[in-house]
Amino acid sequence: MEKIENIDPVLSLHDEFTDSELATSLNLCYNCSTCSTICPVALETEGKFNPRSIILLSNFGYEKRLIVDLTPNVWQCTMCELCQEACPEGVNLHEIFLRIKNASARYHNIPKSYTSETNQVYLFGKAVPSQPVIEKRREQLGLPKSPSTDVDEIKKLMGMTPVENILKEIEELEKTKEEK
């Protein structure tokens, strides 16, 4: 398993942005703003969330800002891929935003809603675990019972990624904060 404590998220993201494939994609951006004019989150936030700026910061080596300081940050992106479909240069915005999210998670800069849902999947195999009230509603609607999930298999799969460690580290950090 990858030891996340030995990885510097900023340096690691910098390496990813300067590797041939992603660097080539980033370098194609000519700052036209098509992505920002089509992005539903940019529209909803009146431009405060700005995919063009994120690509610009990625291109110019501002990885620390992207991971730590940016507000609104990349977690606002819903990964709908509209920007990528519209980009005249075919910049791989989806992959770039994904790498920033991964680096931010390693830095423990991850919204609580994401860690809560991931924890649910880890513990119960579902983001929304089955409950009597849900089952009753399904029955009333004539739907079959929710399918069961192999939680051990899901834990095993998640254990093969850094996510298990990240969840543990975040839990420890929160405990430490509460104790202070």
CA–CA gap between residue 23 and residue 26 (Å, rounded): 5
Segment 77 to 96, residues that bind ligand SF4, using CB under 6 A: 77-83, 87-89, 91, 93
Segment 34 to 53, residues that bind ligand SF4, using CB under 6 A: 34-35, 39-41, 51-52
Question: Residue for token digits 């910098």?
Answer: 14
Peptide bond into 132 cis (omega under 30): no
By the rule CB under 6 A, 57 interacts with ligand SF4: no
| Identity of the residue, 49 or 164, whose beta carbon is nearer to ligand SF4 in the bound complex | 49
By the rule CB under 6 A, 100 interacts with ligand SF4: no
CA–CA gap between residue 54 and residue 103 (Å, rounded): 14
CA–CA gap between residue 85 and residue 15 (Å, rounded): 26
From the CB of 111, what's the least distance to ligand SF4, in Å?
A: 15
From the CB of 72, what's the least distance to ligand SF4, in Å?
A: 11
**Binding segment toward ligand SF4, per CB under 6 A, in 4-12, 13-21, 32-40, 136-144:** 32-40
CA–CA gap between residue 38 and residue 13 (Å, rounded): 26
The Cβ of residue 99 has, within 10 Å, a number of other Cβ atoms equal to 20
| Identity of the residue, 41 or 121, whose beta carbon is nearer to ligand SF4 in the bound complex | 41
70 token code pair: 């940016």
**Binding segment toward ligand SF4, per CB under 6 A, in 24-32, 65-73, 98-106, 153-161:** 24-32
CA–CA gap between residue 10 and residue 16 (Å, rounded): 10
Binding site for ligand SF4 (CB under 6 A): 29-35, 39-41, 51-52, 55, 77-83, 87-89, 91, 93
